Amino acid sequence: MGQPVREYLLTLCVTAAVTYLLTGPVRKFAIAAGAMPEIRARDVHREPTPRLGGIAMFGGLCAGLLVASHLTNLKSVFADSNEPRALLSGAALIWLLGVLDDKWGVDALVKLGGQMVAAGVMVLQGLTILYIPIPGVGTYLPSPTQGTLLTVALVVITINAVNFVDGLDGLASGMVCIAAAAFFMYAYRMWFGYGIEAAAPATLFSVVLMGMCLGFLPHNMHPARIFMGDSGSMLIGLVMAAGAVSVTGQVDPDLLSLKTGGIREATHSMVPVYIPLLLPLTVIAVPVADLILAIVRRTWNGQSPFAADRGHLHHRLLEIGHSHSRAVLIMYFWSALIAFGAVAYSVNNASMWIVLGIVLLSAVGLVLLLLPRFTPRAPMWAQRIVPPRYRRIVRPEPADAVAGESAEGVREERDEAREAVAAGLHGATAIGERSRFVDRCRADSHH
């Protein structure tokens, strides 16, 4: 089992390194190409920032898949399944659409149509939902039309959820990386824990997606030097959706039932992350909730559901007093809590400790959410390894103390200063009395 872990780690590092190294040249290219739109009313950054970061992320995706196809254990994924090629085809289409939108702008309905086309291309190459396990009932086999519609819907929902949440520096890439890590843990357990080879593509997709986000994140943290744009947000959304479809609809629950003792037990044990319609809601619940609230809000106000505004969750965090970085960290916290909580519950849904832990962490998250003026500070021993905004503020000492003088000497100098002032006042009084005496003498002599 150690060999597959090393291969996954190598794929992760290569994907992250290629994405990181390409982002710098892509930033220069975006500036030269004029892919720096003016600041809009809903934006939170103050200076025009280049987009097209998705170019570097797509390069990392290609590099990761290329390396994985030559590794001993992972190359079987390409030999036994057509899903990697389906992913690459859909990713190329959605990435090209995003690049056009970042540079010239594309109508919302055109983008929606392009997303459906990309999802349809993946379906035609075999990446589709084949099984839907229903808790307490068993496995439902959808017809080809139903499977296609469910797959396209899941892909479009996930793409737009990620695209909607991409409003703060490092927010989308960090949240998707957290969700990808949860996907990897679940899919890896399916493959090597239960021996179900159909979960292998989803495990690979999750690792590549983590590498894409980790490689781009250093350039995108606040203050961001480059944005991923729609070319990046739609790309990582599609990769995540491909992993969800693969691990959800390609794994036959009958195989899992042989390991867990029965179809109902197997289905029940996988409820949090197995049902296609529930999967994106649990793993990326925060962006999906933001998407639903945005559609309801805009429709209620008589606007188009695709009209941009400043009513997203991250905008509201800023409005109640949270800083940019703290708002991002809060969104990270909730995403990790929901994603990893769902995975932990799928492993052992009979443990009350997992439920109590999730409830306790939820309470902590609510406290942090409602305390915008709370500023976390790192301990003294960690001052050199944390960003400056989390370091303790050391009050500057008086200049005389810095010069090495003792506190007693400072007090003596202050006493001398007071005596000098008093002497000066006394001297001024004496001079005044003398002046008045001279005036009286001159007046007497005159008379």
Residue 225 has which token pair?
A: 């030097």
Q: Which of 147, 173, 170 is nearest to 49 (CA)?
A: 170
In the chain, where the domains are located: 2-316
Residue 139 bridge partners (DSSP): 133
Question: Residues 376-405: pLDDT tens digits?
Answer: 566 777 777 766 655 666 555 554 444 444
Distance between CA atoms of 373 and 368, rounded to whole angstroms?
A: 9
pLDDT in tens, the chain (447 residues): 567 889 999 999 999 999 999 999 999 999 998 887 666 555 555 577 888 999 999 999 999 999 999 998 899 999 988 999 999 999 999 999 999 999 888 888 999 999 999 999 999 998 998 877 665 666 778 899 999 998 999 899 889 888 877 777 888 899 899 888 988 888 888 788 777 788 889 899 999 999 999 999 999 988 889 999 999 999 999 999 998 888 776 666 655 555 555 444 554 444 444 543 454 455 556 666 777 777 787 787 777 666 666 666 666 777 776 777 788 888 888 888 887 887 777 776 666 787 788 788 888 877 776 666 555 566 777 777 766 655 666 555 554 444 444 455 545 555 555 555 454 444 444 445 555 544 555 555 554
Residue 138 bridge partners (DSSP): 134
The DSSP code sequence of 118-145 is HHHHHHHTT-S---EEETTTEEE---HH
Answer yes or no: are the C-beta atoms of 32 and 2 closer than 8 Å. Answer: no
Largest CA distance in the chain: 132
Q: Which of 288, 284, 206, 208 is nearest to 246 (CA)?
A: 206
